[in-house]
């Protein structure tokens, strides 16, 4: 897997050093510590520039454009996530092969966090790979002709049924060729980036 692939849990940064080596906590030397001036006086002399509503809206629309969305498409995604609790989209794997991905729930984030604690990977590459694996398995609705189940608590499914369905998707991914996993990993990241752009701050009020 590529080491520079970013972790895919929104809002949680697991990026580490570029070198493929264990991370070690180090304390700065006495000589390297600069004296800290009064933070209040610094804030008074360099006030933060706040963006206007128009500037935020402009940045938001530019973000949508960067991921190939317009206002109508973005609104559709927003409504799907907020009303039906998930959004699904089909992507091409190449040729006639396609996959369908869906947005993840907070329970999926917590599951990945639990396994991070259990496996406790040392290398940055291993951390990113673990997160990517769990995100793919939590998002994979269909791979070519293989369709997967997504039992929900609100529909009466038990925790055991939900985790069993997740394990089936995870095991399916682990049995794929490396090149297919790499492609699926990139598509999942692309999908997450698109959804994140839709929910960025700055959406027009009449959105």
Domain boundaries, the chain: 52-198
Partnered with residue 140 across adjacent β-strands are 101
pLDDT given for residue 133 in this prediction: 95
Nearest-angstrom CA–CA distance, 192 and 137: 14
1 pLDDT above the threshold of 70: no
DSSP secondary structure of 120-183: ---SHHHHHHHHHHHHHHHHEEEETTEE-----GGGT--HHHHHHHHHHHHHHHHTS-HHHHHH
Mean pLDDT of 133-140: 97
**Pick from 15-29, 73-87, 147-161, 191-205: least confident:** 15-29
H or E element at residue 42: helix 39-45
Residue-wise pLDDT tens digits, 30-42: 444 444 455 444 4
DSSP state of 96: T
Residue-wise pLDDT tens digits, 137-192: 999 999 999 999 999 999 999 999 999 999 999 999 999 999 999 999 999 999 99
pLDDT given for residue 164 in this prediction: 97
pLDDT given for residue 51 in this prediction: 81
pLDDT given for residue 147 in this prediction: 98
pLDDT given for residue 191 in this prediction: 97
110 pLDDT above the threshold of 70: yes
CA dihedral (51, 54, 60, 62) positive or negative = negative
pTM of the model: 0.74
Q: How far is CA 187 from CA 107, 143, 183, 203, in A?
A: 21, 12, 6, 25
Higher-scoring residue by pLDDT: 191, 205: 191
Residue-wise pLDDT tens digits, 40-69: 444 455 555 788 888 888 999 999 999 999
pLDDT given for residue 207 in this prediction: 61
DSSP state of 24: -
Q: 26: pLDDT confidence band, cut at 50, 70 and 90?
A: very low
Nearest Cα residue to 131 out of 5, 13, 19, 9:
9
Tell me what the pLDDT averaged over the chain comes to.
82
H or E element at residue 112: helix 106-119
Share of the chain above pLDDT 90, in %: 66
123 burial via Cβ count (<10 Å: 0-12, 13-18, 19+): middle
21 pLDDT above the threshold of 80: no
Residues 8 and 132: beta-carbon distance below 8 Å? yes
């Amino acid at each position: 897997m590529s080491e520079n692939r970013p972790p895919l849990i929104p809002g949680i940064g697991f990026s580490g050093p570029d070198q493929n080596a264990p991370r070690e906590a180090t304390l700065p030397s006495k000589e390297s510590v600069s004296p800290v001036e009064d933070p209040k006086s610094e804030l008074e002399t360099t006030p933060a520039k706040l963006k206007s509503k128009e500037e935020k809206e402009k940045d938001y629309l530019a973000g949508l454009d960067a991921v190939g969305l317009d206002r109508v498409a973005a609104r559709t995604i927003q409504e799907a996530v907020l009303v039906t609790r998930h959004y699904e989209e089909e992507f091409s794997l190449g040729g006639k092969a396609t996959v369908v991905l869906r947005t993840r729930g907070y329970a999926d984030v917590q599951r990945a966090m639990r396994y991070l604690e259990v496996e406790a990977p040392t290398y940055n590459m291993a951390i990113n790979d673990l997160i990517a694996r769990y995100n793919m398995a939590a998002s994979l609705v269909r791979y070519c002709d293989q369709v997967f189940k997504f039992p929900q608590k609100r529909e009466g499914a038990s925790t055991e049924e939900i985790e069993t369905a997740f394990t089936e998707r995870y095991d399916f991914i682990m049995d794929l060729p490396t090149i297919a996993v790499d492609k699926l990993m990139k598509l999942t990241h692309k999908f997450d980036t698109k959804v994140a752009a839709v929910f960025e701050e700055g959406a027009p009020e009449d959105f």
